[in-house]
Amino acid sequence: MGRVKPPPPELPPADSRKWHNRRWRDGLGYLRVRTLANPAWNRDLPWLVHYLRSETPPAGDPLLPRYDQAVAAARRYPRTRAGVLDADRSWDELLAAVDVILVERQRRHLDDVRAAGVSGDDVPPPTT
C-alpha cells in the first residue's frame, strides 16, 4: 500500500482551514481527505461500508446509486472490478466512487450558495 489517489481538485486540500468547520456538514469529505487519503490508515472496510450506509440518502435522491457504487467498491476491496487482487488499484476505485459523491455534493452546495446570493470571492462561477 503505497500511493493513494489524491482528492479531487474541487475539494479543499486536506490541510485547508476550511475543514475545521466543514467537517460537521461534510463528514464524508472530511473522512476522504483526512483518513482515506492516508496510506497508513488501516483499511477497515466493514466500518467504512457502515459509514457509507449511514450517509446514504433516501430513495429518489440522485446520489443514491453513487452511494451504492461506493459500497460495492468497498465490498470488492482488495479486488479490482476485473476480479484481480490489487489492493492499490481497488482502493483507487473505491476513492473514485467516493469522489463522485463529493464532487456532486460540492456542486450542489455551491449552487445553493449562489442561489442564496451569499457567494463570496472564493466561490467559483458555475460550470456549464
pLDDT digits over 67-104, tens only? 999 999 999 999 998 889 999 999 999 999 999 999 99
Residues 21-47: b if buried by 16+ CB within 10 A, e if exposed: ebeeebebbbbbbeebbeeeeebeeee
* CA atoms of 36 and 93, how far apart (whole Å): 12
* CA atoms of 109 and 112, how far apart (whole Å): 5
CA atoms lying within 13 Å on the CB side of residue 11: 27
| pTM of the full structure | 0.86
Instruction: For residue range 42-53, list pLDDT tens digits in order.
Output: 999 999 999 999
